[in-house]
């Protein structure tokens, strides 16, 4: 196999046999927010199938309003951490590597939902997606506690045996809400101009780095778009993107997970580079690309909203971009959800055996 997808990759303490990453996908299959044996087996099957690195579904930090769903796992209660320890043990027994994606939903979480329905939702300015005032702005104490909650979660991940940690800073959730002028109307150190609005995220990265040490890999996931607005852009030019990323890089980010809906789409006019390509070029850091890898038809957002199926797609352009070292790692979502053996089949050239994605896959932990 000469495909660049199956070349080794290493950074800091993380060594992978190939460039394939299982993308984080919310499954809501953890009753009481505790990942059970079925969740551990689900991730183990992907490790057995040859994925280089698994990034788990989003798992919430220790804030009362971090989650809107008691079937979404948390990453702080003793029972949940015990469940995650079993996940790590199963993945490692199958020869895999794994990182949790730690998460806070912010104002995307509707008040009255989740583990603590009585708690008001957290947000930089307490604004809904439409800009309506629906709750209080986070206090300095709330912000400090949230930063510490992310650091505690990362420390727990390291202690349990996870191989890295990913911070969810994308898709309109809490960290991303601090980035956006429409959601962040603060006039203090947590608000301000385009660069100053990265301060909250940078402080989370710094706190995690202080907790886990210099050699433990920190992955930061970000997106230009958000669920509230697919056309939104944090940075309109490469220069703006460089300014946005600089504080996050200086804080200690090791790998950027650059979330796009279709990996082949260029990020800026005048270049074919996608978001992961530009991010690597501007920061010098390894990047993960993602977005409809191995599939054609509806993107993942459409799939999860409309329950559309997707056909198998070609990998030629993806491999060509990876060969040119535009990015370093490739996250695969729905294709791996439908077919745990996807990586092994691609490695062995058994493309005719690949399973297409069926929306029915969303109902079970295949």
- Active-site residues, by number, are 173
Distances (CA, A) of 140 to 137, 190, 200, 223: 9, 9, 11, 26
Can you spell out the DSSP letters for 138-191? PPHHHHHHHHHHHHHHHHHHHHHT-S-EEEE--BTSHHHHHH-TTT----STTS
Distances (CA, A) of 274 to 37, 249, 270: 38, 19, 11
- Can you name the residues that pair with 311 across neighbouring β-strands? 296
Query: By the 8 A CB rule, do 128 and 107 touch?
Result: yes
Radius of gyration of the chain from its Cα atoms, rounded to whole angstroms: 19
Going by C-alpha positions, the residue among 301, 278, 133 that lies closest to residue 231 is 301
Distances (CA, A) of 222 to 87, 234, 275: 25, 10, 10
Contacts of 289 (CB under 8 A, 6+ apart): 258, 260, 263, 274, 275, 276, 277, 318, 321, 326, 327, 329, 330, 331
The C-alpha atoms of residue 142 and residue 137 are separated, in whole angstroms, by 9
- The CB density around residue 261, as the number of other CB atoms within 10 Å, is 16
């Amino acid at each position: 196999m000469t495909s660049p997808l199956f070349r080794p990759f290493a950074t800091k303490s993380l060594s992978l046999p190939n460039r394939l990453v299982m993308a984080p996908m919310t499954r809501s299959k953890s009753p009481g927010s505790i990942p059970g044996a079925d969740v551990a087996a689900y991730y183990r099957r992907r490790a057995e199938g040859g994925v280089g690195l698994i990034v788990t579904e989003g798992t919430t930090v220790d804030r009362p309003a971090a989650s809107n769903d008691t079937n979404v796992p948390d990453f702080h209660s003793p029972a949940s951490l015990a469940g995650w320890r079993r996940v790590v043990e199963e993945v490692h027994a199958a020869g895999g590597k794994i990182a949790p994606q730690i998460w806070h939903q912010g104002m995307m979480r509707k008040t009255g939902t989740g583990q603590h329905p009585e708690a008001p939702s957290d947000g930089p300015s307490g604004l809904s997606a439409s800009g309506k005032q629906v709750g209080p702005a986070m206090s300095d104490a709330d912000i400090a506690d949230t930063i510490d909650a992310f650091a505690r979660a990362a420390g727990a991940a390291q202690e349990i045996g996870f191989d890295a940690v990913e911070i969810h800073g994308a898709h309109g959730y809490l960290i991303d809400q601090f980035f956006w002028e429409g959601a962040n109307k603060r006039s203090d150190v947590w608000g301000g101009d385009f660069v100053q609005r990265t301060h909250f995220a940078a402080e989370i990265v710094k706190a995690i780095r202080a907790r886990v040490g210099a050699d433990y890999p920190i992955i930061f996931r970000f997106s230009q778009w958000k669920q509230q607005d697919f056309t939104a852009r944090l940075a309109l030019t490469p220069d703006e993107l460089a300014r946005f990323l600089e504080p996050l890089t200086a804080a200690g980010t090791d790998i950027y997970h650059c979330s796009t809906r279709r990996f082949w789409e260029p990020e800026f006019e005048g270049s074919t580079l996608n978001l992961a390509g530009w991010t690597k070029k501007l920061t010098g850091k390894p990047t993960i690309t993602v977005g409809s890898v191995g599939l054609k038809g509806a993107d993942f957002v459409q799939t999860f909203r409309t329950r559309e199926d997707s056909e198998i797609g070609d990998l030629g352009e993806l491999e060509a971009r990876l060969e040119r070292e535009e990015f370093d790692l490739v996250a695969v979502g729905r294709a791996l959800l439908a077919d745990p053996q996807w990586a092994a089949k691609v490695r062995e050239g058994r493309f005719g055996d690949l399973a297409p994605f069926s929306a029915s896959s969303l109902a079970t932990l295949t």
